[in-house]
């Protein structure tokens, strides 16, 4: 009986080990960068439901960060730290949102504000005031993107900062160099003209191009200080920009709080 119970326990532990990596040594010294997309409940028919995080989960995750001593920063804060203007807090975290959905204004912004935290949204310039035109509606229904007045309000509040996610959300690794340059340079310039601030951060659509040296070089040449991939993990701090784009932690709609904690402490929750 005891043997059978022990075997059961071992099997359960093996199951948990296959699903989670809590037994791995904790990562140290890096700056976690969270990657969200949409906050709220996934619409019926969405095949990308895992990219929707409910408001309740998002609120819990922010509370966990605060409770564990993390302080959210913006790209500009990171830039200022690199320039020696103002040091980073002891446990910095970047909370990023890809694409620029209107639900970031309706649901993420109030919760960040309530928690006294900051976030950064990567915008697809030409889709603002419109919809997610790059998606196949069979995968994800049309969604409203942020309006320029919402973007301005959030930028002025100091709660949200904005980076570029190109003009049209195309796959940069598959584009000719002149179009890659246009996507990078034009979106940066237009964001700066509209918001009157330096566009410091850039995220590669689909993470594509982040590991293609010529695309990364084009992002550097366009003047972005920080470029972000979708490779799972926590980049060390100080970040070695010669080595690779900043890694991020994908926060999924079906993550438990254990997943969230493992992401933050281990750089990965799942296999």
Maximum CA pair distance of the chain? 73
What is the DSSP code string of 61-101? HHHHHHHTT-EEE-HHHHHHHHTTSSPPPSSEEEEEEEE-B
CB of 25 to Zn ion, least distance (A): 32
Residue matched to tokens 């996934």: 42
Closest to 148 measured CA to CA, from 126, 165, 132: 126
87 contacts 81 by C-beta, under 8 angstroms = yes
CB of 245 to Zn ion, least distance (A): 14
Distance CA 35, CA 91 (A): 17
Between 57 and 99, whose beta carbon lies closer to Zn ion? 99
- Which positions ≥6 away from 220 have C-beta within 8 Å? 227
Distance CA 200, CA 197 (A): 9
Between 99 and 140, whose beta carbon lies closer to Zn ion? 99
Residue 254: count other Cβ atoms within 10 Å of its Cβ: 10
Between 107 and 165, whose beta carbon lies closer to Zn ion? 165
CB of 113 to Zn ion, least distance (A): 24
CB of 183 to Zn ion, least distance (A): 13
Between 124 and 218, whose beta carbon lies closer to Zn ion? 124
CB of 203 to Zn ion, least distance (A): 7
Closest to 179 measured CA to CA, from 201, 209, 203, 148: 209
Residue nearest to Zn ion (CB): 98
Distance CA 59, CA 95 (A): 13
Binding residues (CB under 5 A) for Zn ion: these are 98-99, 205
Between 98 and 161, whose beta carbon lies closer to Zn ion? 98
Between 38 and 266, whose beta carbon lies closer to Zn ion? 38
**Cis omega (within 30 of 0) on the bond before 31?**
no
Between 98 and 126, whose beta carbon lies closer to Zn ion? 98
In terms of DSSP bridges, do strands 92-99 and 119-123 run parallel, antiparallel, or are they unpaired? parallel
């Amino acid at each position: 009986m005891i043997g059978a119970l022990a075997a059961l326990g071992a099997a359960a532990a093996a199951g948990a080990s296959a699903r989670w990596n809590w037994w791995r040594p904790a990562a140290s010294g890096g700056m976690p960068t969270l990657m969200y997309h949409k906050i709220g409940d996934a619409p019926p028919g969405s095949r990308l439901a895992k990219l929707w995080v409910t408001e309740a989960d998002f609120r819990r995750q922010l509370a966990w960060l605060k409770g564990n001593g993390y302080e959210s920063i913006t790209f500009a804060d990171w830039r200022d730290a690199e320039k020696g203007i103002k040091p980073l807090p002891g446990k910095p975290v970047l909370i990023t949102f890809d694409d620029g959905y209107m639900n970031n204004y309706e649901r993420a912004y109030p919760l960040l504000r309530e928690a006294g935290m900051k976030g950064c949204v990567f915008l697809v310039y030409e889709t603002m005031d419109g919809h997610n035109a790059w998606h196949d509606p069979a995968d994800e229904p049309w969604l409203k993107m942020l309006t320029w007045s919402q973007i301005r309000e959030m930028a002025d509040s100091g709660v949200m900062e904005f980076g570029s996610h190109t003009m049209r959300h195309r796959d940069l690794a598959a584009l000719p160099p002149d179009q890659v340059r246009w996507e990078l340079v034009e979106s940066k310039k237009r964001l700066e003209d509209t918001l009157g601030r330096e566009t410091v951060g850039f995220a590669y659509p689909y993470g594509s191009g982040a590991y293609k040296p010529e695309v990364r070089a084009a992002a550097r040449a366009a003047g972005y200080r920080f470029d972000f991939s979708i490779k799972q993990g926590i980049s060390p701090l100080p970040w070695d920009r010669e080595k690779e784009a900043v890694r991020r932690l994908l926060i999924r709609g079906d993550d438990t709080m254990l997943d969230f904690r493992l992401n933050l402490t281990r750089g990965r929750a799942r296999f």
